[in-house]
Amino acid sequence: MRERYQEVSATGYQVIIIAPSNRSFLEQFDEAFGPYPFPIYGDPDRALYREMGHVSMAKTKLLLTAGKALLKGGSKTFLPSDEKQQNLVKKAMKTHDIYIQGGSWLFNEQGEVIWSHVDTAPENHATIDQLLEQMK
């Protein structure tokens, strides 16, 4: 998203990222990975995730997918090379509900949902091109 933010922003939509993190973690994340051109908000209790219909996915399926990716690409598939960033991602893996479904939602000015995609698996997320198509 960060790499193609200009294209997305040019559609007139504001971009908002929601993570299942608390403020303290997001502040560390911002210092290690930031700055980002869009705000990242934390929903540590996943209350908004659940209100929007996101649920925790089956752990066995996710672990199987992660195991396959690990065998194919090694740990660099998941972890950045920078030590500070790497430690933070490891911390997230241990402390976050990484089984919660991700997803993308488009809202109009009235706050109504006009399109949504809730990921059925980690690799099932909407691509930037798909989002741009919906935002025309």
Is 43 among the residues that bind other proteins (CB under 8 A)?
Answer: yes
3-42 mask for other proteins (x: CB under 8 A)?
A: -----x--xxxxxxxxxxxxx-xxx-xx--x-----xxxx
User: Which residue from 92, 20, 14 is spatially nearest to 54, judged by alpha carbons?
Assistant: 20
Task: Tell me: does residue 65 bind other proteins (CB under 8 A).
Answer: no
User: Least distance in Å: CB of 71 to other proteins?
Assistant: 21
111 by DSSP, 3-state: which?
coil
> CA 17, 29, 128: angle at the middle one, nearest 5?
35
106 is a site residue for other proteins (CB under 8 A) = yes
Residue of 116, 109, 114, 110 whose CA lies nearest to 130 = 116
Tokens 């920078």 correspond to: 82
Using CB under 8 A as the criterion, which residues of the chain lie in contact with other proteins when the complex forms? 1, 8, 11-23, 25-27, 29-30, 33, 39-44, 47-49, 51-52, 54, 80, 85, 88-89, 92-93, 96-111, 122, 131, 135
